[in-house]
Each structure stands twice: as C-alpha cells, then as structure tokens.
Chains A and B, each alone.
Chain A
Amino acid sequence: MQSFFEKHAPTLLTVALLLVWEGTCRIFTIDPFVLPMPSAIWDALIEYRGPIWDHAQQTFWTTMVGFAVAVVVGIVLGSLLGSSQLIYRACYPLLVGFNSIPKAAFVPILVVWFGIGSLPAIITAFLISFFPIVVNVATGLATLEPELEDVLRALGATRFEILRKVGLPRSMPFFFASLKVAITLAFVGTVVSEISASNAGIGYLMMSASSSLKTALMFAGVIVISIMAMVMYELFAWIEKRMTGWAHRGQQSNA
C-alpha cells in the first residue's frame, strides 16, 4: 500500500491539487473570468484545439531554432572562453553584464530592427538561452586538471588536440546539464517575444485571448507551453544520462 503511494505520489499530488482548485472555484463561486476551473480550461483546450495546435507548432519551432543557434554559439564561445585565460578575462564582465539585462527589454529593439514575426522571437529565445551553455562549457574546459594537461603537452599535443581529446568530452556533463536549463529558458524567450511582437505562437494566442477576455484559453496556453517545455526538459535529461553516464557513475564508486 505504501509503495503504491510512493510510486504514484507525483500523480496523486497533481490530481489532488486540481481537485482543490476545482472545488474552491465551485464552493466560492469564483468568477471564471478571474480564475477558471480546471474543467473549463480543459473545455477550452478541446474547443480551441485547432488554433492551439497551430500556434503551439509555431512556438515550438521558433524555440527550437533559437535554441539550436544558442547551442552552436554556446559551444563555440564557451570553447574560446574556456581555453584561453585572456579571452575569458576579457569577455566575462561583458557576458555577465549582458546576462543581467532582462531579455524582454530587447524585444522592442528587435521589432524595430526586424519587424513583427518569428525572427524577434527566435532571437529572444537565443539571447535568453545561450548564456548558461557558454558558462557551463567554459567551466568544464577551465577546470581541466593541470597535471593531465601537462601529460598531454609534454607529448607535444596542440591546444586543439587537448580540447578535442580531453577538454570537450570532459565538459560534456556540464554541457548537457546546461541544455536542460537552456531549453526551458528558450521557451520563455519565445513566448515573451510572441506576446508583444508576433501574430502567431502561443504567446500571441494568449494575448488575443486576453483582449477577448477568454481567461480559460489563456490558461490553456500556459499549460500547453509548460507541457512542451517539460517534454523537452525530460528529453534532454534523458540524453544527458545516455551520453554522460560515466560522470554520474564515476562519483558513485570511487575505490
């Protein structure tokens, strides 16, 4: 019996929460315009499944493109930063400063540059998600054991060889860990941009639902985004496990 609860604890908690939500709305007759019941949100999901599907695809692909660019830029920039003290020192304050800017603040600027549409959303998704990748790849490279580097350098290995044989494989656990963070951030970036600068995507759908006072549809949008982000997070968590199992097993048994 206990194992049943343990096994299904996450599901049970979610169901319980939904029931409390539904019950609270019904007992206190909360205005559905303020907080719709889960059942109403479900109805909205079903009723608008066509448009939701279209907009979700738009958001998904926009995010993936932005994320893909972030991965490429993240690896390249992270490798540069991690393999040269000079570049690291020169770039780090700039990067930190850049990262502390709220990325939503870029959207109006991007609209001026690129107009309304997918491009500002892709760029926002990229801007918001590349930083953790850069930092993690750089950290993975910079924490290379000096003795190991000596072993290779004494053999006449070039910088690039050390990077390829040791540095990059070694920073893979850091890299994959950062992907999980970055993919969820990328969704944030896309939606933020879609809300103010697009006529497609879940963000846009929510904005138009807001202006026509369809609160249930807005909640449906939130749920669709979180499901997409969760699925992608789990996907990258799975890839991380597959690719860098050595890093986790290595800590387990160190005889």
Chain B
Amino acid sequence: MPAFIDFNQVWLKYNPTLDFAIEDVSVSIAEHEFIAIVGPSGCGKSTFMKLGTGLKPPTKGTVTVDGKAVSGPLKITGMAFQAPNLLPWRTTLDNVLLPLEIVEPYKSSFREKRAEYEARAMMLINTVGLGGWERKFPWELSGGMQQRASICRALVHEPKLLMLDEPFGALDAFTREELWCVLRDLHAANPFTVVLVTHDLREATFLADTVYVMSKRPGRILAKKHIDLPRPRDIEVTYSEPFSRIVHELREHIGMIRKS
C-alpha cells in the first residue's frame, strides 16, 4: 500500500539561529492508518503536525501527502488541540459549521445548502453525544463537551487527514476514556487517516495502529511500534496483559530518553 503521508528525512528549524526542532524524521503513514506520536514535552510533536498540514515547510527533506509534495496548507486536514478553541460568540452548531464556511466546495454553496450542511453537522454532533446541546454556547458546555464539539469541527468537512494535538490532555480520566471511544467509533465508521500527538501511552496504545516514540529536542524518531491488538478494541482491553506489555515497552523507550 503506497504511503498517504510520507516524511522523507525531514529536518526543521523554526529560525536560522535556533537548533533543529526535529531531525531526520522519516515516517510513512498509510491511508486510513491511525498513528500516534508519543514523547516528552517539547519534543517536536507539534512541529510534526505543522509539517504534515503544510503550515510549515521543512528546512531539509520532503513531506509528501497523497502523492504530492506539500507546499502549502492542504485543505484536506482537520485539526483539534488541547484547548477546544471554540468561538464564544457562535453556538455549538455554528462552531462545527465553521470549516464549511471556509473550505471549498462547501464555501461557495454554504448559503443555499445550509440546511443540508446543518443536518450533516448534527449527525456528527449526535454521534459524539452532544445532541441537544447544539444551540448552546461554548461557555455553557463542560470541558469534555467542548472538546467533543472541537472534534466535530475538525471532521465536518470530511477531511482525509485528522491531526490531533493532545486533544484529551486537559480532561479528567473518565471523560478521556469516553472520548477515546468516540474517536475510535468515528474512525471505524468513516475511515480517515489520523495523526495523534499525545503523551499518554495508554491513549496511544488503545487508539493507534502504529505508535512512534520521539526523543526530546531535537526530535528524532526513536522507535516504531505496531499495535497488533485486534479491533474493535473495547476499553476493557486496556486492562489486559498484552496491552500492559505494549505500554510498558513504550514506557521503556521514554525512560531511555530521560537517561540519554
């Protein structure tokens, strides 16, 4: 299967006077693959996202997405971050609709097809369990609900690539596990490629097909681990022995980072 996203020996400096943020990163992601990048804070995980979405060009090396070298914003990406970043003057529904007001082909037909798009957004909103809250404003929602809305916004334009930067980092453990399942189901129902940046090893192991471990700055890929736990995975699997073994193994790579 040809790679959907291909990082070929990518190096990036934000500023000529600074050190490299990531060094010699080569990663190949298949279409519809769910990968996770784990590593300590400031290891260039977010840099990886900026490269993959075309927000930053690499200093050295090439990034190819969908067979084309990336040279600018891709428009096929949805993004969500640790902070939900919803617009406080828009209702939940209007927040979710925002990408459709910006990306073609939706943008030009947004006015006439608004009802159709609203229905589509509502389907997503219902899927993530936000039904009934679509007319509420973000400040009326809990943190977990805001994050659900943020994920809807990232997916409403049916992106081929979903980039998640520690999306569940600020949530409590129970909400986090609930949203893992939401994301798992969304990915299973309507496949898209996912890049999940996280420092939660259980999260990475539970959700991803492949986990990459990055070193601290300058970021390098230290290990690649294929997670062969069968799908669909239930939250119960996180208490199973094979699961713990994988988490443990990943943890050992992180431990090595700290020593080096």
Residues of A within 8 A of B (CB): 145, 147-148, 150-157, 161, 165-166, 169-170, 172, 244, 246-247, 249-250, 252-255
Residues in B whose Cβ lies below 8 Å from that of A156: 73-75, 102-103
Residues in A whose Cβ lies below 8 Å from that of B79: 147, 150-151, 154
- Can you name 20 A-B residue pairings with CB atoms under 8 Å? A145-B83, A150-B50, A150-B55, A150-B79, A151-B153, A153-B55, A153-B73, A154-B77, A154-B78, A155-B75, A155-B77, A155-B102, A155-B157, A156-B74, A157-B102, A244-B89, A247-B89, A252-B139, A255-B141, A255-B142
A247 touches B75 (CB 8 A): no
Asked, given contacts A154-B74, A155-B157, A165-B101, whether A148 binds B85 with beta carbons under 8 Å apart, the answer is yes
A154 touches B53 (CB 8 A): yes
Given A147-B79, A150-B79, A155-B157; 5 other pairs, CB 8 A cutoff: A154-B53, A169-B87, A246-B137, A253-B140, A255-B143
Q: Does B98 contact A (CB under 8 A)?
A: yes
A-B contact count (CB 8 A): 76
Q: Considering the complex, give the chain A residue whose CB is closest to the CB of B87.
A: A166
Expressed in whole angstroms, the Cα–Cα distance for A197 and B187 within the complex equals: 72
Q: Does B243 contact A (CB under 8 A)?
A: no
A169 touches B83 (CB 8 A): no
Expressed in whole angstroms, the Cα–Cα distance for A169 and B12 within the complex equals: 34
Give the distance to chain A from B108, nearest Cβ to Cβ, in Å: 13
Expressed in whole angstroms, the Cα–Cα distance for A253 and B103 within the complex equals: 32
Residues in A whose Cβ lies below 8 Å from that of B180: none
Residues in B whose Cβ lies below 8 Å from that of A252: 139
Asked, given contacts A246-B139, A254-B139, whether A151 binds B101 with beta carbons under 8 Å apart, the answer is no
B99 touches A155 (CB 8 A): yes
B140 touches A246 (CB 8 A): no
Residues in A whose Cβ lies below 8 Å from that of B98: 165
Expressed in whole angstroms, the Cα–Cα distance for A244 and B77 within the complex equals: 31
A250 touches B101 (CB 8 A): no
A249 touches B101 (CB 8 A): no
Expressed in whole angstroms, the Cα–Cα distance for A151 and B164 within the complex equals: 11
Expressed in whole angstroms, the Cα–Cα distance for A246 and B85 within the complex equals: 15
Residues in B whose Cβ lies below 8 Å from that of A145: 83, 85
